[in-house]
């Protein structure tokens, strides 16, 4: 079954009671049992809910995985994964990852005796050098947020397997439309479904996809025991979003290419970060493991001054200045003061994240209108 067909049909089925083609919102907290312990597979909605179950099945199908787990937020999904670790374990992660992930790692789990190493993972020798006998998890984000660095998933898988560690890929920027990490050797794929998967900036949710039955069982235990599960209406909204994921992502990619090329040719732009350029570091890896290059772009204006970046962001009319990404509408952001403010300035700069960097989430509007907005804002 091709991706577009799976996006619409896989994992879902008409309601057995009414024949409704859309998955119902099972807005219930509990379920009547015929006799103590004798039920229809549903006892309590923190544990299972029919709307969530169909979403989880659909997510697994899109990633060519076996099991899907949905969470109330992307951070809840990450939190569940890290709960697999024990005090004394070590994690290797990229040094330019999402600020919320960095905050959870360093401000929460580091306090429980878990050690985190942040290295430039687009260079796999840096990953290999960070491996110790205590390495239990390798955390990949590719393309990275917000510098769009590309990490070789297959190579990271080889390092993880040699170390006896689990490999997680945060696939939020790419979605399974662009790359399927489980097929490249990842043990877990993680998403902030809030972004492209839901796609309409109207719900917050996360997910983890796995193939291994035992790993799924462990994650399911934490999902239920710790309670970071989503409500049925949010699950319904993501299911609705998945049905147009393929057509939206195609347009995001088409518009992203036009915006990236426009910025690269603009005389006031110093540097553009987009993996589709042949001179982008690890472009060859991106071309190998991705089907296209996405709609996320970052850039720096000439002079590299934060005040110029702020002035440009304030002039945008279509690129709304807001947190998040991946919606149908175009968004702009200033990572240093928004999505990555929780990372110390010294660490941000060490990773190459300038205080003047502007991040764009290119939407699915008419590309000509987006280019006009960029022109008037940059000047």
| Phi-psi map region of 324: left, alpha, beta (phi>0 left; psi -120 to 50 alpha) | left
Can you tell me the distance from the alpha carbon of 89 to that of 81, in angstroms, rounded to the nearest whole number? 13
Among 52, 63, 79, 98, the one annotated catalytic? 98
| Residues 68 and 58: beta-carbon distance below 8 Å | yes
- Asked if 92 and 333 count as a contact pair (C-beta separation under 8 A), the reply is no
Region of 294 on the Ramachandran plot (φ > 0 left; ψ -120 to 50 alpha; else beta): left
Task: Say which of 63, 79, 89, 170 is annotated catalytic.
Answer: 170
177 is catalytic: no
308 assigned to active site: no
State the catalytic residue, choosing from 6, 52, 136, 195. 195
170 in catalytic set: yes
352 upstream amide cis, omega within 30 of 0:
no
| CA atoms of 366 and 2, how far apart (whole Å) | 27
**Nearest partner of 212 among 177, 175, 186, 192, judged by Cα:** 186
Find the catalytic residue in 15, 46, 83, 288: 46
- Cα-flanking dihedrals φ and ψ of residue 111, to 5°? -70, -15
Beta bridge partners of 360: 297, 332
Active site residue 98: yes
- Enumerate the active-site residues: 46, 98, 170, 195
């Amino acid at each position: 079954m091709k991706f577009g067909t799976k996006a619409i049909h896989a994992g879902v089925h008409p309601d057995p009671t009414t024949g409704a083609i859309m998955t119902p919102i099972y807005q219930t907290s509990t379920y009547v049992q015929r006799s103590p312990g004798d039920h229809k597979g549903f006892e309590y909605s923190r544990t299972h809910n029919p709307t969530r179950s169909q979403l989880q099945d659909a997510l697994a199908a899109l990633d060519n995985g076996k099991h899907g787990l949905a969470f109330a937020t992307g951070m809840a999904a990450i939190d569940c994964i890290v709960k697999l670790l024990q005090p004394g374990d070590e994690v290797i992660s990229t040094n330019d990852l999402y600020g919320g992930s960095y905050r959870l790692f360093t401000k929460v789990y580091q306090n429980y005796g878990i050690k985190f190493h942040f290295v430039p993972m687009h260079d796999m020798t840096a990953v290999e050098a960070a491996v110790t006998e205590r390495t239990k998890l390798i955390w990949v984000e590719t393309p990275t947020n917000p510098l769009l660095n590309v990490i070789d998933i297959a190579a990271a898988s080889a390092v993880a397997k040699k170390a006896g560690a689990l490999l997680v890929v945060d696939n939020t920027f790419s979605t399974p439309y662009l790359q399927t990490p489980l097929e490249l050797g990842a043990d877990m794929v993680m998403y902030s479904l809030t972004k492209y998967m839901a796609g309409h900036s109207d719900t917050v949710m996360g997910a983890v996809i796995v193939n291994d039955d035992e790993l799924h069982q462990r994650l399911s235990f934490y999902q239920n025991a710790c309670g970071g599960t989503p409500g049925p209406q949010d699950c319904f909204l993501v299911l609705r979003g998945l049905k147009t994921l393929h057509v939206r992502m195609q347009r995001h990619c088409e518009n992203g290419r036009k915006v990236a090329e426009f910025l690269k040719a603009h005389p006031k732009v110093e540097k553009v970060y987009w993996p589709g350029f042949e001179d982008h570091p690890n472009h060859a890896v991106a071309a190998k493991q991705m089907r296209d290059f996405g709609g996320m772009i970052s850039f720096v204006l000439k002079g590299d001054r934060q005040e110029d970046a702020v002035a440009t962001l304030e002039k945008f009319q279509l690129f709304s200045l807001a947190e998040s990404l991946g919606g149908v509408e175009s968004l702009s952001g200033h990572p240093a003061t928004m999505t990555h403010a929780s990372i110390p300035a010294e660490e941000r700069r060490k990773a190459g994240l300038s205080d003047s960097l502007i991040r764009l989430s290119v939407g699915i509007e008419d590309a000509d209108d987006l280019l006009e907005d960029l022109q008037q804002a940059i000047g």
